[in-house]
Amino acid sequence: MPELPQDHPPVLRVAIDVPLHRLFDYAAPETIAPEALKPGQRLAVPFGSTQKIAYLVGVEEVSEVSRKQLKPVTRILDQAPLLAPDDLRLLHWAARYYHHPLGEVFAAAFPVGLRQGKAAILDLPIRYVLTDAGRALDSAGLHRAPKQKQLLEALQNSPNGLSEEQLAAVENWRPALKQLLAKDWVKIGDGDMPADAALPLIKGTPIECNPEQSAAISEVCDGLGRFGVFLLEGVTGSGKTEVYMQIIREVLERGQQVLVLLPEITLTPQLENRFRQRFAVNIAVSHSKLTDTQRQTAWLSMQQGVCSILLGTRSALFTPLPRPGLIILDEEHDTSFKQQEGFRFSARDVAIVRGKLLNIPVVLGSATPSLESLYNAQSGRYRWLQLPNRAGNASAPRVRLLDIRNKALHEGISAALLAEIRQTLDKNEQVLLFLNRRGFAPTLICHDCGWVARCAHCDANLVIHFREQKLRCHHCAGEQPIVKFCPSCTGSTLTPLGLGTERVEQVLPTLFPGKTVIRLDRDTTQRKGSLEKYLRQINEGQADIILGTQMLAKGHHFPNVTLVAILDTDSGLYSIDFHSAEKLAQMIVQVIGRAGREDKPGTVILQTRHPEHPLLTTLIREGYNGFARQALDERRAAALPPFSHQALLRVQASDAFRPKVFLEEVKKLAGKLQAGETLILGPVAAPMAKRAGLYRYQLLFQDVNRQALQQLLDSLTPAIDKMKKEKHLRWSLDVDPVDLY
């Protein structure tokens, strides 16, 4: 028993999940040996009048707080830290870089249950496995019972067995499984899920690769075991997934784990299935549609090394990896990798820092890389791997700008486009229409007096939702029934103005009688599984016209679509946010990737009133890389990111004047504090000056020198915290903002 110095029991410095830029000290329990205390352990502590979960940051000799003010820790929750030292380093780095309270950063790294103090016990769901008889059975004999045959084959492909959740991939699986159980071909698996080391790794056969794919695979594989960032730029259909899988195979053969991060909407079961067909290892999945328990299971199964692959979204980034081998971040340009509230981290940027700390490669994949990543690739900081060719025989679609100046539009569709759609439908091929606005119409206007239905809480018009007969604000929870008479002049000529997906959906059947229309937007895909259902219907040919918002463009494949049109191309052309050109170009290229597969060449039509706009003409003439070159030149000339670094300080309050006054004070203070020459722009009203009843202002900091900006923010944030004492106001700092709204 080591000696416990009673006069100087150690001080435990902890981070707590509260929005305070400060740590708290506690007295260590007298019965515990100091060696048993390691940073990262979760503790239960008294905090104010409640109990909270705390994360041990360090064991100190002394505290700035007097000894008798230190409360004792209630309980130590983890015998050993759940996070490795490198991951703790990562959290410290992120808290500093994003100027976010360490306790909240720690909280973001843990699943909800562990955040609340639940025991870190891996509770695996029950699995069904084949009996010897079931394993020996030829599934062909079950052709009269297709569900049973499907389940049996799935189980024969999964030596580890399958959970109920996985079996649910077969519709109405329960009765069929009951039969298999009754026939003694299937039993409930006993004991733990077998550890991966004991398993064969691969079962599917790799697809043969073209030279570019092979080159990419071997470059990354040569880099395994040390840090490096690879930008894998592959046009749609160039076989990026196959490249990922063959690299992953190598990592698995080294006995290491792989973290695959995907944007929220792309996380389709298709990708998971491809992985499960190829690899026999245990695969964990984590995204927002799962329950907290399921996500905790995924986290712990990686943490304990039971699974070797994790497919997850942004929040899965911090999952512990005892045998880290590789991080892949697919669709790296996607802005859903940036958390937009609270701890505003970029999963892409933090993934790179994590790769560096773990000394493993990071692969960023995209058909339309962000300008930041392209710049890093061009300047040699990242290795640039390009897959310029579509795999197989697929030919690139024809892209055309359709000038709609002075052209009559029928519900947003020009006569020329109408004719193209008819032709395509006549050939029994599918049409995809994009309109980036949901609802029926974005405005309800009175013909007599010009009154417009506006949200009482936001600087925004109310959007008409025809089916529900509601006027709804897309920026807050506000909604009301559609008014029949003008509240201003009592006139009855209220007219919907503008276009939404719902309105186009209504008119399409009259334009194309007998054709089936499927609308895909946030309103039609809210229910769990409905997006998957629609996607299946589309690919089974049960739809002629697919109409939707941008969510359609992301990662879904529609092999029978040969005509794609963007109805409202121009809406992204002239925006105050300099990111919008990049986002529009990425969207257009992603859309182009939806058209034409295999033997059927596709056509893409962009309706525009600005057919000479350089963004559009360059994009079409020279492709995404031509656009990117031009856009980077413009960014360089204007000293915008990636040629400078930004941070956006947002303030909101229910009082209309306070935010501006407050930010003016901050600006004055920042001018005094700074030693360098950080540009301070503003304060200006946020593009939507009032939202959900709160008035919003912002102040933009910009500097070519990241260090200087970082230092200014370091000294400024505590000062802001003190100033805030004059209440009634909330502020947040967004480092590297991707959305200036």
Residues that bind DNA (CB under 7 A): 18-20, 22, 24-27, 45-50, 63, 65, 69-71, 725, 727-728, 730
Burial class (CB in 10 A: 0-12, 13-18, 19+), 202: middle
Minimum distance of DNA from residue 344's CB (angstroms): 15
CB of 56 or CB of 553, closer to DNA: 56
CB of 23 or CB of 145, closer to DNA: 23
CB of 114 or CB of 151, closer to DNA: 114
Sheet arrangement for strand 479-481: 463-465, 470-472, 479-481
How many Å apart are CA 98 and CA 101, to the nearest integer? 9
Token pair in block for residue 668: 């004055």
CB of 22 or CB of 254, closer to DNA: 22
> Residue 31 contacts by C-beta under 8 Å, 6 or more apart in sequence?
none
Burial class (CB in 10 A: 0-12, 13-18, 19+), 17: buried
CB of 532 or CB of 655, closer to DNA: 655
Length of the chain as a residue count: 741
Contact assessment for residue 154 and residue 162, using Cβ atoms and an 8 Å cutoff: yes
CB of 26 or CB of 244, closer to DNA: 26
Distance of CA 171 to the CA centre of its chain: 28
Minimum distance of DNA from residue 692's CB (angstroms): 14
- Residue with the two structure tokens 């656009």: 627
Instruction: Count the Cβ atoms, other than its own, within 10 Å of residue 516.
Output: 16
683: Cα within 13 Å, side-chain hemisphere: 24
Angle among Cα 11, 16, 22 to the nearest 5 degrees reads 75
CB of 56 or CB of 444, closer to DNA: 56
How many Å apart are CA 118 and CA 309, to the nearest integer? 24
CB of 45 or CB of 109, closer to DNA: 45
- Residue with the two structure tokens 């974005």: 442
CB of 27 or CB of 689, closer to DNA: 27
Minimum distance of DNA from residue 684's CB (angstroms): 24
CB of 69 or CB of 205, closer to DNA: 69
Minimum distance of DNA from residue 726's CB (angstroms): 8
Minimum distance of DNA from residue 72's CB (angstroms): 8
Contact assessment for residue 365 and residue 245, using Cβ atoms and an 8 Å cutoff: no
Query: What is the per-residue DSSP string for 506-523?
Result: HHHHHHSTT--EEEESTT
454 has which bridge partners?
461
Contact assessment for residue 511 and residue 538, using Cβ atoms and an 8 Å cutoff: no
Query: Please, what is the angle between helix 269-278 and helix 240-253, to 10°?
Result: 40
> Residue 291 contacts by C-beta under 8 Å, 6 or more apart in sequence?
none
Minimum distance of DNA from residue 70's CB (angstroms): 4
Minimum distance of DNA from residue 14's CB (angstroms): 9
Minimum distance of DNA from residue 710's CB (angstroms): 24
Minimum distance of DNA from residue 112's CB (angstroms): 13
Minimum distance of DNA from residue 717's CB (angstroms): 14
Minimum distance of DNA from residue 51's CB (angstroms): 9
Q: Is 731 helix (H, G, I), strand (E, B) or coil?
A: strand
CB of 9 or CB of 626, closer to DNA: 9
